[in-house]
Amino acid sequence: MNRRFTMDFKDKPNTRFKSVDTLNKKQAAEEISALREGINYHDYLYYVENSPKISDSVYDKLFQRLEALEAAFSSLKTPDSPTVRVGTEPVSKLDKIEHKAPLLSLEATLEQDDIESFLKAARKQAHKKSITYMLEPKFDGLSVEVVYGHGHFEYGVTRGNGEVGEDISHNLKTIRALPLSLQRLDNTPALLAVRGEIFMPKKGFTALNKQRVERGEEPFANPRNAAAGLMRQFESRHVADKPLDIFFYEILASDGDLPSTHQDILERLSHWGLKSCPLNKTASTFGQIEKYHHKLAGQRDDIDYEIDGIVIKIDDHGLREALGTRERSPRWALAWKFEPREEVTMVEDIVVQVGRTGILTPVALLQPVDVGGVTVSRATLHNEDEVHRKDIRRGDRVRVIRAGDVIPEVKERIKQPGKKRGKPFHMPKHCPVCDARVVREGAYYLCTAGLSCAAQLTGRIQHYAARNAMDINHLGAKSAAELVTHGLVQDLADLYTLDAKDIEHLEGFATKSANQLQNAIQERKEPRLDRFLFAMGIRHVGRHIARVLATEFRTLDRLANAETQEFAQIPGIGEEIATSVANFFADKKNQSVLNRLKNAGLKIQPMPKRREHPLTGKTFVFTGSLDGFTRDEAKEQVEALGARATSSVSDETDFIVVGKNPGNKLDKAEKHGVKRINEATFQEILDES
C-alpha cells in the first residue's frame, strides 16, 4: 500500500471519516485510492483465501464511504473500482471479441482403457517411464477468457466457438472472487490473458431456485444453465446479487516469462490473487489417477460446486508442445468423466410453492439428476401428508421418477444407515411469499391473502394470459413476475392500463418487446364467455366446467347474479364447485376487478344458443401425438360439438383417439372395450358433425 497515506484500510481500518464536504479533490483522490486497495485486499481474503480479517459491518462502512466519495467526485470514478460490482449501465448487445489464444475443448471418456492409452502415448513421446500429471476436477460451469492490462481488469469473453466469444465484461465485474486489480502489481505482465470457469455454488443455486419456486417461476435446470444465463444478461444489476464464483486454471497469453510447468502456473495465478481449485493434485501413475477419480466421484455430492469428472493434464509444458493439439482439443490433456447420476439424488431443501389459487405445495429441490434423458432439479411432494408418508427430509437420498413421463416426483427415500437425518418437514403457519395466515382444508393448506399475495397474483396473471384462456402473447411466467414485483399490476384489470414505457424498463424487455406486450393485451378484449370464465382462475373451474357454466347461463351478468342452488342443479356441477363459483362472484374485491375490466373496454361475448349435436353426451380420450391438432385443440373441437374430453379412460369413455406413440391409456381402453379410432376417422367425425 502507498504509505504516503495516513489511512490504512488493510490491517486496521479506521472508519471515522471526515465529512465529504470538507475534502478537496486531491484529498478525495488519495482516500479513494486507499479505500479501493483496502477493499480489494479484503475481497481477496474473503472470496479467495476464505480468511476474512474484518467484520461485515466494517467492510460495509468502507464500501459505503467509497460510494459516497465517488458520488461527490464523479470524475475520480474508474472502471476498476470495486463499486462497479453492484451493477453498471446496461449494454445494448454482447459484442464479439477474438480470443488472445484459442480456448480448446477437451476430449472426454468414460472408459479406463482410454486413460491407459493416453498415459502410454505420453510416455512414448517423452521417452520416459514416468511423467508428472496435474489432476483437476472437471467443472460443469462456463468457460471464459479474462484479460488484464498492467494488472488491471480490461475485459472478459465467453468461450464461444473457441476462437471468438461474447464480451461479458459488465457481468464478470460483479463476481467478487474475480480481482479487478491483481495482487502484487509490481511483477504482473503488461498483458495477461487467463482462462477460468464461472460456476454457481450448490448452496447458492438451491437458494436461488428456492426464491424462484416460491414465486411460482420455473427453476433453473442446473447450476451451469443458471450461470450461463446470468452471464449473458444485458443488465449487470440483475447479476450483481447472484451467487457466482470463478476458478482460474490456465494462462492463455502473456508478454512476460512463464513457468515451465502447470504446477508453477497455478502457483503464479494464486500469487496474483487469481483463485484456483484447492482439489488440484499431482500424480505420476495410473493407480494414483484412478484413486483420485474414485475419490472425487464419491465426494461429488458433498463438494459445493458441480463436477462431472476429472481432467488429466501433462505437467511439463515442453512435452505439451511436443505432443501438440488436434483441430479443437489438446493431445496433452484428457477428461475422465464420472458415470452420470440417474434417478438417485439428494434433497438439498424442501420449499413451499404458492399456486395461483393459494394452495401451498411442498417441492423438493434436488441435486440435478438425469431422469429419462431430462435434467431434473425439483420434484413435487404433493402435500404434507405425502411427505410424512414417504418420510422425506432435507439431506435425504431419494429416487426420482417422472410421473406419466412428465412431472418429476419423489418415489421413495433410500435409507442411509448411520447417517444423521434432517428434521421432519412441516407446512408453514404463514405464507412464505406474503406472510399471510395459512389455513388447512382437507389435505391442502391455503394462503388466505388472495390476490394481495404476489405469488397468487403472478400465477393468476399467467393463467389469465394462457392460450386456452385469454390467449395473450408475450405474457408468460417471467413477464408476469416482473409486472407484480415492480408494482405495475396489482390485479388483472391493471393489465389494460399498462404503458409500454413502463414495461420497457423491466428485465428482459426493450422498446419493441414492450410495445408487443401492450398491443397483445389490448387485442384480447372480446373473449367468449367460457374462455373468460376459465381465465378468471376460479377454484375448481377448469375448461370443461367453464364451458358447462357458460353454455347454461350464456352471459356474464346472468352467471354473476346466479345463486349457489342454481349452479348445483346443473348436471356435473357438484356442491363444492357451486359454492366456489357463487363465492367468487359474491366477493366484493372480485366484483371490483370485474367492473374495472368492463370499464377498461372488455366485452365478454355471450355463448351461442345451445343446440343438440351428434356428439352430445359422448366422451373422448386422446393418447399419443396428432399431426393436425395439438391436444388442447382436439379437446376444444369435441367440446364445441357437445362432447366431453377427459384425460383418463373409464367405463363412460366412448372413443379413444390414437395418435403416434400412444401411452398406456390404449391398453386400459382395450380392457374397457372402448372404441378405438385413428386421427383420420376422428377428422371424419368432426366433419360430419
State which fold the 451-599 domain adopts. Answer: DNA polymerase; domain 1 (1.10.150)
How many Cα atoms sit within 13 Å of 615 on the Cβ side?
A: 23
Q: Is 106 annotated as a binding residue?
A: yes
Between 632 and 268, where is the model more confident? 268
- Closest by alpha carbon to 263, among 244, 282, 237, 246? 282
The pLDDT-based confidence of 346 (bands split at 50, 70, 90) is very high
Cβ contacts of 44-51, under 8 Å, gap ≥ 24:
44/179, 44/183, 44/273, 46/176, 47/176, 47/177, 47/245, 47/275, 48/177, 48/179, 48/273, 48/275
- What is the model's pLDDT at position 244? 95
- On the question of pLDDT at 630 being above 90, the answer is no
Whether residue 434 is annotated as binding a ligand: the answer is yes
Please indicate if the annotation marks 58 as binding a ligand.
yes
Task: Note if 138 is an active site residue.
Answer: yes
| pLDDT tens column, 563-586 | 999 998 888 788 889 999 999 999
Count the Cβ atoms, other than its own, within 10 Å of residue 323: 16
Q: Which amino acid is at 188?
A: T
The C-alpha cell of 31 is what? 482516500
CATH class of 20-77: mainly alpha
**Averaged pLDDT, 642-658:** 89
Taking residues 206-232, what's their average pLDDT? 85
Radius of gyration of the chain (CA): 31
294-302 long-range contacts, CB within 8 A, separation 24+: 296/137, 296/338, 297/338, 297/339, 300/338, 301/346, 301/367
Residue 56 marked as a ligand binder: yes
End-to-end alpha-carbon separation of the chain, Å? 86
**Rounded Cα distance, 239 and 237, in Å:** 5
- The pLDDT value recorded for residue 284 is 94
Q: Are strands 191-199 and 619-623 parallel, antiparallel or unpaired?
A: unpaired
Contact 297, 215 (CB under 8 A): no
pLDDT at 157 over 90: yes
Give the mean pLDDT of 401-417: 80
Per-residue pLDDT tens over the stretch 41-99: 888 787 777 677 887 778 888 888 898 898 889 888 887 788 877 766 667 688 999 99
All structural domains of the chain with their residue ranges: 20-77, 108-337, 344-426, 451-599, 619-688
Between helix 286-299 and helix 112-126 the angle, nearest 10°, is 140
CATH number of 344-426: 2.40.50.140
pLDDT of residue 388: 93
Ligand-binding site membership of 117 (annotated): no
The burial of 364, by beta-carbon neighbours within 10 Å (0-12 exposed, 13-18 middle, 19 or more buried), is given as buried
Binding residue per annotation — 197? yes
Average pLDDT over the chain, rounded to an integer: 88
Q: Tell me the C-alpha distance between 283 and 286, whole Å.
A: 8
**479 marked as part of a ligand binding site:** no
User: Is the pLDDT assigned to residue 610 strictly greater than 50?
Assistant: yes
Per-residue pLDDT, averaged over 599-607, amounts to 92
Q: Specify the pLDDT at position 491.
A: 86
499 is in an annotated binding site: no
Q: What is the pLDDT of residue 4?
A: 37
Residue 587: the pLDDT is 87
Residues 93-145: tens digit of each pLDDT: 889 999 999 999 899 998 999 999 999 999 998 888 889 999 999 998 999 99
**Residue-by-residue DSSP string for 226-258:** HHHHHHT-S-GGGTTTS--EEEEEEEEEESS--
Answer left, alpha or beta for residue 87, where phi above 0 means left and psi between -120 and 50 means alpha: left
Q: Is the pLDDT of residue 361 over 70?
A: yes
What is the 8-class DSSP label of residue 148? E
The answer, yes or no, to whether residue 1 has pLDDT greater than 60, is: no
The kind and range of the H/E element at 444 are: strand 444-447
CATH class of 619-688: alpha beta
- Determine the pLDDT at residue 237: 82
Determine whether the annotation assigns residue 59 to a binding site: yes
SS3 of residue 634 by DSSP: helix
Average pLDDT over residues 267-292: 95
* pLDDT for the residue 297: 92
The answer to whether 264 is annotated as binding is no
Q: Measured between alpha carbons, how far is 55 from 226 in angstroms, rounded to an integer? A: 30
Read off the pLDDT of each residue in 641-654 and give the average, rounded to a whole number.
Answer: 87
Is 431 labelled a binding residue?
yes
Q: Which amino acid is at 469?
A: A
What pLDDT, on a 0 to 100 scale, did the predictor assign at position 406?
A: 60
Per DSSP, helices labelled H in 466-563 are 477-485, 500-503, 511-522, 529-535, 543-553, 556-560
pLDDT in tens, 172-212: 999 999 999 998 777 789 999 999 999 999 999 999 988 88
Query: Residue 43: its pLDDT value, please?
Result: 82
Q: Annotation-wise, does 526 bind a ligand?
A: no
For 443-463, write each residue's pLDDT tens digit.
889 998 877 788 899 999 999
Residue 585: the pLDDT is: 93
- Name the pTM for this structure: 0.64
CA angle 476, 478, 479 (to 5 degrees): 65
What pLDDT, on a 0 to 100 scale, did the predictor assign at position 6? 45
Nine-digit cell string for 470: 385469454
Q: Which residue has the cell 428456492?
A: 210
> Under the phi-then-psi rule, with left for phi > 0, alpha for psi from -120 to 50, and beta for the rest, what region is 312?
beta
> CB-based contacts of 264: which residues, under 8 Å, 6+ apart?
none
Using CA of residue 607, residue 608, residue 612, residue 615, what is the dihedral sign? negative
* Residue 3 pLDDT: 35
Among candidate residues 18, 138, 390, 501, the one labeled active-site is 138
Closest to 54 (Cα-Cα) out of 392, 24, 365, 63: 63
Q: What is the pLDDT of residue 607?
A: 86
Q: Which of 14-18, 357-361, 372-376, 621-625 has the lowest mean pLDDT?
A: 372-376
Identify the CA nearest to 362 among candidates 370, 371, 354.
Answer: 354
**What pLDDT is recorded for position 143?**
94
Grid cell listed for 384: 404434507
Residue 169 labelled as part of a binding site: no
Task: Determine the Cα–Cα distance for residues 573 and 658; give it in Å rounded to an integer.
Answer: 29
CATH number of this structure's domain 108-337, picked from the four choices 3.30.1360.120, 3.40.50.300, 3.40.47.10, 3.30.470.30: 3.30.470.30
Report the distance separating Cα 519 and Cα 501, nearest Å.
Answer: 13
